[in-house]
Amino acid sequence: MQPNQKTSRKLKVLVIALAMQIVPAYAQTYLNAAGIETSSEQDNINAIKPDNQEKADAKLQETKAVFLERSSEAVSGNSRNQAVVFSAGKVLGKIQISYLLNGKEFLFIYDAISFNKKQLNSIQLIPDSIEQNRKTGDDDTELSLLYNELDKDINQLAPLEAGILSSLDLLINMVPKDASFDKIDLQAAKEKGLIQPKAFTNICSQRGKVRIATYNSLFGSDYSSTRTVGNPASDCPGRCGTGCTQPLQENKRQYTSACFVHDLCTLRFGDNPVGDCSDEFVDAADGYLNAPNCAFYVIGRWESQYNWLCKGTTHTATVTLYSNHRFRDSYGRGGTWQLTANKIIRTYDGGAKYTGTLEATNMKATGTMISASGATGCFTDTYLTTSTTH
């Protein structure tokens, strides 16, 4: 056999080995007929793609937290960089979830945790020294890294694992940075009548409407404030969480009466969970942990940035969506809109049609448009305010 024939034969074997991934039976028949010795089909594939899957699996594993124990009775482990040690288990009839980092322990105690209900009893901060008696920005950084690592691997149907993730969420997003406390006692607040044990009251239908909140200071003085529920121009009052969006939980669209009261209280007194708004914080925590997401809401003014051909000059218009399913933009053009789940369609009276998808935050919509003559383009809408007046 000449050298060029050897090269040709090697190439042919290589092509056939690759083909074995698609039509292995036919490829193997050809090799047998040609008198070419082969090992297994998998050996041929591995010869072409050496340990690619192993590398991919290893890379994925590098992004996950490390579990040391994982059962229905106990869960424990640490973040990939070992900065945070976490655990969950039953102690004296309660469920305890712990995070150890930076010389302190954040301890959550639950009366019960199930798939659809988490009954939080208290949150404790146990420091090694008095200087560490607060949640710092460094704590938030490490806790957020752990959240991202767990989110890829957690079993939301396992109560202890779901509790670890939701407690992390609450700790990162509801307990403000530099907050100093020993214990936030939800059960004691309920027993003293500071909060009502009626769980939460959804106010999804109140978005876009002005609502009043009444709250009190540590000294017992009563205050009241008004805001428009869910207004992006005012950081979405009533949404359970920080502002209109928040790290790690961009898909949260929970709106409750207690979260609305807490938001307005902290606007006046600040975010300290054991300060003037401590009972409001406790009351809001139940909705944060358990309230379902509201449907998408789009009534109000949006800033629309669009360009034809998806690569031309970007134009900007303000588009106001009214409750009667009509809209009008800042150029005076009007039409109708419809919303189905997270899909929104604006159809101009002149025939142009904008079809978009709302992000989970409810704050942006992106999509494509087509003119009456068939020209196409792209757009991004950003929610400005629930107000429809200019």
Instruction: For residue range 64-78, list pLDDT tens digits in order.
Output: 999 999 999 999 999
Averaged pLDDT for residues 7-27? 39
Which range has highest mean pLDDT (33-37, 195-199, 223-227)? 223-227
Was domain 300-385 assigned CATH 2.30.130.30?
Answer: no
**pLDDT value for 24:** 42
Residue ranges of domains in the chain: 3-50, 64-181, 196-294, 300-385
* Mean per-residue pLDDT of the chain: 82
pLDDT grade for 84, boundaries at 50, 70 and 90: very high
CA distance 18 to 387: 61
**In the chain, what percentage of residues exceed pLDDT 90?**
52
**pLDDT value for 75:** 95
**pLDDT value for 380:** 97
Say how many CA atoms lie within 13 Å of 49 toward its Cβ.
Answer: 14
User: Which is more confidently placed, 152 or 108?
Assistant: 108
**pLDDT value for 18:** 37
Residue 100: both structure tokens together: 């150890």
pTM of the predicted model as reported, rounded to 2 decimal places: 0.68
CA angle 321, 324, 328 (to 5 degrees): 35
Residue 22 has pLDDT above 60, yes or no: no
Amino acid at 328: R
**pLDDT value for 61:** 55
